[in-house]
Structure 1
Amino acid sequence: MENNKSSNTLSSPEFGVDSRYKSLDKKLSDGKQLMEARLKRLNKLSRSQVINAKLLQLKLRMEDYLKQPNYQEGNFFTNFLTNYIDTIYDKRSMFAKDINITPVSLSQILNNHREPKEEFMFRLMLHSELTYKHICKFQKKTWYQVYYHEKICDTMANQNEWRPTEKKHVKIKHAVLK
């Protein structure tokens, strides 16, 4: 019976307030006070502190994505890249200028109309190193890993589309193993 009681004392994910309240009004009141305190504290943060926090959160989300073995719908590379750029810059064209590409090229990459070229990946890697230098440790290979993880997952998830056609082109004329 003791286990059942402890499972009922979980925190409310909606407000972050202990769920052992006997009154819903008291729970909502405390939840509201907690949210107000959080907002008050958040409003005191400087713009650079907010940017640093968002960049750290992005890094952690990317690392979490790389740990997922299963395919998930979505263009994670471009979503992460868009989040990265929009966190740091007011205009995406400023990022394009900083890594010496045209805004049109950047737009095509972000909208999945063009694959990123190797130079783009190199420049993104260097840009991230400089950006994260004073925030936290950022693995140089993270952007590549995110990009290729998505490609691998997409390829494996869509085998029904490409396998029948490609299977016709693969034969073994000499038995290697008997």
Structure 2
Amino acid sequence: MKSKTNKDLIADAEYGLDSRYNSKKERESEAASLMEARLMRMKNLSKEHIIRAKLMQLKLKMEAYIEQPMYDDRNHFADFLKIYVDTIYSTRNHFAEDINITPIRLSQVINNHRDPKDEFIMKLMIHSEKVFKKICSFQKEIWYQVYFHEKLCDTMSSQVEWRIKLEKDVKFSTVID
């Protein structure tokens, strides 16, 4: 019997199948059947179930983001906010109305034209606490954690630009023994 190569093992994992299949044709046939069954199941999900799944996925992505030191130039807070709002509301204006801000302010935050104010994040915390109450446990402070983690990552990743300029202004006149 031929041993599986690394490529075969990766393909098995990709299709979500185990290694009981003797031929590639058999494995692909089973993978197609599995995918068809998954698609049928997904088509039968209610809108509420889809929203719940997306919100749980968002929560997990946010938690993973704050756990890892990622230094990239994406605006994760705005991305997460966009997913949150678009998952729950048919229009962003309805969300803006629900948290008592102008649609323009919401648009500016989502499109990275303005940083969110503390009041905005606090309203978002209250809103998400109510939304997630019946779905899963949700740390309301995660919005702040994502926002400040992003700021920290931005600062650390752009040291090359700001450090040389600012080091000239920093003096150390005390000797520590």
**TM-score scaled by structure 2?**
0.90
Q: For 1:115, what is the secondary structure of its paired residue?
A: coil
d(CA) in 1 for partners of 2:162, 2:9: 51
Matches within 5 A, 1:31-42: 31-42=31-42
**Which residue matches 1:83?**
83
Q: For 2:86, what is the secondary structure of its paired residue?
A: helix
How many residue pairs are counted as aligned between the two chains?
Answer: 174
**Which residue matches 2:176?**
177
Deviation at 1:71, TM superposition (A): 1.5
Q: For 1:121, what is the secondary structure of its paired residue?
A: helix
Deviation at 1:10, TM superposition (A): 6.7
d(CA) in 1 for partners of 2:115, 2:72: 19
d(CA) in 2 for partners of 1:138, 1:109: 22
Is there any run of 5+ residues in structure 1 with no aligned partner, and where? none
Q: Give % identity.
A: 53
**Which residue matches 1:12?**
12
Deviation at 1:101, TM superposition (A): 0.7
d(CA) in 1 for partners of 2:83, 2:51: 11
**TM-score scaled by structure 1?**
0.90
Deviation at 1:92, TM superposition (A): 0.8
Runs of at least 4 residues off by over 4 Å: 7-11
d(CA) in 1 for partners of 2:152, 2:14: 36
Matches within 5 A, 1:111-126: 111-126=111-126
**Which residue matches 1:166?**
166
Tell which has more relative contact order, 1 or 2 (C-alpha 8 A, sep 6+): 2
Q: For 2:72, what is the secondary structure of its paired residue?
A: coil
**Which residue matches 1:45?**
45
Deviation at 1:20, TM superposition (A): 4.1
Matches within 5 A, 1:26-175: 26-173=26-173, 175=174
